[in-house]
Amino acid sequence: MKWDLDTLFSGGSDSQSLHKYVEQTEEELANLESLVELYTPPKNTEQTGPLLEVVAHIQEVMKRLSEFGAFVSCLSAQNVEDKKAGQWQSKRTEMGARFDNALTAFDQKLVQVDESIFKTMIQQPELKELSFVLNEKREHAKDLLELRQESLINDLSVDGYHGWGQMYDALVGKMTIEYDGEELSVGQAANKLSASDREVRTEVFQKLQSAWDQQSDLFSETLNHLSGFRLQMYKRRGWNHVLKEPLDYNRMTETTLNSMWETITDYKSKYKNYLNKKAEMLELEKLSFYDVEAPVGESGQTMSYQEGAEFIVEQFRKFSPKMAEFAEMAFKKQWIEAEDRSGKRPGGFCTSFPDSEETRIFMTYSGTPSNVATLAHELGHAYHQHVMNDMEVMNQGYAMNVAETASTFAEMIVADAAVKEAKNDEEKLTLLEDKVQRSVAFFMNIHARFLFETRFYEERKSGTVSAERLKQLMTDAQREAYMDSLDEYDPTFWASKLHFHITDVPFYNFPYTFGYLFSMGIYARALEAGESFEDKYIALLRDTGRMNVEDLAKKHLEVDIEQKEFWQNALELCVADLEEFMEVAEKL
């Protein structure tokens, strides 16, 4: 149950080979910096040589920085007390900032290349493979201000923009909730919201509300400054649509986004029925916000790690022998850290080592059905990386909305199999509810976040938005997203949800829902096609880093995701679980 990190760099955070690797990477980075500085935009289509040279160096540094970063995150996850790992982390951040500056400078030079020369150049055999990403880099750079202004923004955002995000984290870290004679962090308290005893949930929820409410003036300050910085930056760049940055980043159109939300809204009444049913099962008139995720039945059977691993491999094999083989290899080579012990970071992740062409999975496995699902989920991420290993490094970068494709797909396979193999109706009900819950989170909770965030940013354009107004906006968004089916909402959710305060990625919400439904759509295809789907699936995954999502869907699924049909098919699959849940619930 423990991973092997020594095959990557032996000796943990004191590793000599890591030292050497980082030193070498720094040299490569310095080389890249001078190459970019010396690079002159070509005047004719024949001059591809220097461009190729810069691109090769970018890819080399990118690969090494990912390898280094991945190793460091593994070190600090396996032991939160590892101080040396913290130092490596700062080193990695500093080198990452230098790399980003070199990239920005390079992109600005690409803009200076004449349009027709550039388009011809990237179609030449030696560059064709990278034409999408190179063109995208140039297009993004065109939307920016000139280099000096952009680097001023970058420098000022360390303390001005990201600073507010860090201030948020610091403030939240100081908050405590008194419960049952204990001082709990807000995270620990929030975990109690999934307790089966409603009195516990009610009390914890009220305590959390009052704690966030007391601090709401502080958090409206951090949120207003952070969003104000973002909007001012957009204004200077001449961007007047707040969704421009997140849509570009996720390589998708607004039509696709709208079509997705509209289809979800069409199906919402079914989820309203589910919430009403759940209220009935919990003997309540109406659910409150803190009842939505409450358990309705007994928890399912537990599985030992060995059993979980075998179950996953067996289910993967039904869809894709290659995926099953990959999972077996990951178990055998000890790519997974699953041991249940103290001193580990909570949560789970999968990280890739593009230089060694390996991955590592981190989680804490205690045998619950949700642990098995997480393990399958992370193996899905690892498989996504695995099928991309031989590709150009620049083509391996996929955005958040497709990042969850392979993981959700893998998780679905295993969750469906678990429902089919349930020993009795009680167990079946619990497993089905787990699946329906996921849909409720993506279709309602995340929808509320999206509605709130777009409306908030619109209002913020004309000035500071007060804490009172933020609460109103949040309650309205939740009421709408949950179709008025709840009794009580969560007005301070804008303060308690970290995602509104993340500065690295804007609008940390709709890509989740996109990824989930996109994967469901693919899963629906796989169910129809059976094993013959395997190669198609691999081909799709390989294109996730070098296409926009509309083209990706057109090429591999022959669908237009700007239209509702694709989303309807995906939703039908989710609704099938819901209907089965209702049937089993009725029976019980």
Binding site for Zn ion (CB under 5 A): 407
For the CB of residue 515, give the shortest distance to Zn ion in the complex, in Å.
8
Minimum separation from the CB atom of position 406 to Zn ion (A): 9
CB-nearest residue to Zn ion: 407
Phi, psi of 562 (to 5 degrees): -80, -15
How far apart are CB 516 and Zn ion at their closest, in Å? 10
Shortest CB 120 distance to Zn ion, Å: 39
* Residue 152, C-beta contacts closer than 8 angstroms, at least 6 positions apart: none
* Shortest distance, position 539 Cβ to Zn ion, whole Å: 21
Q: Shortest gap between Cβ of 227 and Zn ion (angstroms)?
A: 27
Minimum CB separation of residue 397 from Zn ion in Å reads 16
Name every residue whose Cβ is closer than 8 Å to that of residue 499 and which is 6 or more positions away in sequence. 449, 508, 509
> Closer to Zn ion at the Cβ: 102 or 338?
338
Which CA distances in Å does 391 have to 66, 102, 130, 396, 541?
A: 15, 23, 10, 7, 12
Indicate the residue among 353 and 489 with the shorter CB distance to Zn ion. 353
Number of residues written out for the chain:
588
CA quadruple 555, 559, 562, 566: dihedral positive or negative?
negative
User: Among 373, 413, 374, 434, which residue's Cα sits nearest to residue 584?
Assistant: 434
Residue 341: DSSP 8-state: -
User: Cβ(409)–Cβ(519) under 8 Å?
Assistant: yes
The b/e string for 408-420 (b: 16+ C-beta within 10 A; e otherwise) is bbbbbbbbbbbbe
Nearer to Zn ion by C-beta: 396 or 407?
Answer: 407
| C-alpha–C-alpha distance, residues 562 and 252, integer Å | 10
| CB-nearer residue toward Zn ion: 407 or 439 | 407
Report the number of secondary-structure helices (H) and strands (E) in the chain: 26, 5
Smallest separation, CB 302 to Zn ion (Å): 23
Identify which of residues 78 and 407 has a Cβ nearer to Zn ion in the complex. 407
> How does DSSP assign 344-398, residue by residue?
SPSS-EEEEETTTTEEEEE----S-HHHHHHHHHHHHHHHHHHHHTTS-GGGG--
d(CA 203, CA 290): 10
Q: What residues does 287 pair with on adjacent strands? A: 486
Angle between helices 305-319 and 369-388 in degrees, nearest 10? 50
Q: Smallest distance, Å, CB 412 to Zn ion?
A: 13
Choose between 407 and 478: whose C-beta lies nearer to Zn ion: 407
Query: What residues contact residue 408 under an 8 Å CB cut-off, 6+ apart?
Result: 377, 380, 515, 516, 519, 520, 523
d(CA 156, CA 389): 37
CA-based end-to-end distance of the chain? 38
Q: How far is the CB of 384 from Zn ion (least distance, A)?
A: 10
Nearer to Zn ion among residue 184 and residue 327 (C-beta): 327
Query: The tokens of 132 are what?
Result: 């999408």
DSSP, collapsed to helix, strand or coil, labels residue 176 as strand
* Residue among 18 and 363 whose Cβ is closer to Zn ion: 363
Asked if 48 and 113 count as a contact pair (C-beta separation under 8 A), the reply is: no
Task: Pick between residue 15 and residue 351 the one whose CB is nearest to Zn ion.
Answer: 351
Compare residues 228 and 515 and give the one whose CB is closer to Zn ion: 515
Residue whose entry in the numeric block shows the structure tokens 């049913």? 277
Dist. CA 520–CA 353, nearest whole Å: 28
Our CB check for Zn ion shows the closer of 498 and 576 to be 498
Shortest CB 319 distance to Zn ion, Å: 18
Q: Least distance (Å) from Zn ion to the CB of residue 334?
A: 21
For Zn ion, the closer of residues 48 and 405 by Cβ is: 405
